[in-house]
Structure 1
């Protein structure tokens, strides 16, 4: 292996992506039209960030997100990240989100997972092994928080029963170490958070949740857009009440 790749200093994420791709420093430099010594500086000098066009070329070649490799890329000529830098993608409806994206984000979370949902049924459908996945992440040390709507505040008995049945889908998580389950009294947006990435489903008046758009956001430095939704998540979990028993169905 090239000595520059053995170096443990510098940009570990770029180094790992380069090793995973099987490409050499010289090969990458050739593909992007750079001197190999420049690529070595990207690898070995902490904080070294290439120009945006080179960063995106490299990311495309290595099949990675450029902002994962260079988190400050969006700030190269700015003092702080702008909302457009935080937007990785957007989808016109929940059904147009790539099916694998929900599970991919959750499975890749290391530090935390937050789920603030107005129902929770759609996510259980999108990720069939959701309970097992969250249990595995909690066992690995990921902090997991799940907020579902409070059935006691439902407008009708039928709605309360439906929400209790949805809770029942997640009941196995209730006593899993590292998982916190709560009931909220209503939320403005559905949010799925996996570390620094969020899938946000903002409410639209007169539009059912499934037909509303979905924003895929990535937190960059003190990102104003993502930061607002993270504050919203903190509000949800601060004001929510603990979920005591997920199997108290209305018929009981």
Structure 2
């Protein structure tokens, strides 16, 4: 059973028959996608399924699509989005809920994660209780880097305010097992959100806000590939960061 496809269909309130009609295949074909994870739709149909469910084919059929579609270093790119908010919330949910070893939110403010993901604090607390490491790397709301970024953005909800919203949320779950948080000013232009062997990466463009910048969904497949390069960036941030709590 392709449980990822099944769950994505349930979240989209999509029956097998409705999915088949939507993407133009027989019900029997759609049933085979569910019963056999190695069954992958043709490229055009894959795109239609992605649109219908709001989930990338790499998430729905990870092994099969990687081996059938991509070769070379770009195999680690699961999906690319022109804007961060073009990445479906269902992808975030699957990555957060599916991680079992480590989760790292290395965005400068991490503000949006609390707004877009219901009961995130409870979900992360349960992750910690199950032995998963949960780390946050945030900017210092009082730093000169933050002040300069506020001048560039020029929006009412300032960078410092957005950071403090994250700090308030973390303070409420401060005693959660596995939770750690550090300050850094070195990632103002690059956000990395890592979930075990997958990550979402946003390089920030000029004076645009985070949700207006592009995003890559990566999956680790080899040593010193794209995933490892960004992972080393996160490691450096963490090692040079300052603890939020003394």
Normalised-by-shorter TM-score class: 0.5 to 0.7
Change in Cα spacing, 1:219 to 1:121, as seen in structure 2 (3 Å) is closer
The question of 1:22 aligning with 2:15 is answered: yes
Structure 1, unaligned runs of 5 or more: 1-9, 246-252
Change in Cα spacing, 1:195 to 1:128, as seen in structure 2 (3 Å) is same
Does the Cα contact within 8 Å between 1:190 and 1:200 map onto a contact in 2? yes
Secondary structure, in 3 states, of the residue corresponding to 1:118? coil
Q: Which residue of 2 aligns with 1:222?
A: 221
TM-superposed deviation, 1:105 = 3.9
Q: Partners of 1:14 and 1:127 in 2: how far apart?
A: 21
The question of 1:110 aligning with 2:106 is answered: no
Q: Which residue of 2 aligns with 1:5?
A: none
How many residues matched? 223
Q: Partners of 2:45 and 2:212 in 1: how far apart?
A: 31
Does the Cα contact within 8 Å between 2:33 and 2:40 map onto a contact in 1? yes
- Find the structure with the greater CA-based Rg: 1
Q: Which residue of 2 aligns with 1:176?
A: 176
Q: Partners of 1:197 and 1:135 in 2: how far apart?
A: 20
Does the Cα contact within 8 Å between 1:14 and 1:69 map onto a contact in 2? yes
Q: Partners of 1:49 and 1:180 in 2: how far apart?
A: 40
Where in structure 2 are the equivalents of 1:202-221 lying within 5 Å?
202-204=203-205, 207-208=206-207, 210=209, 213-220=212-219
1:28-52, CA deviations, whole angstroms, 9 ceiling, x for partnerless residues? 389633583x555544445343332
Structure 2, unaligned runs of 5 or more: 149-159
2:41 to 46, 50, 60: 50
1:63-112, CA deviations, whole angstroms, 9 ceiling, x for partnerless residues? 54322211142441433462795334122xx7xx3699499548943314
Change in Cα spacing, 1:103 to 1:178, as seen in structure 2 (3 Å) is farther
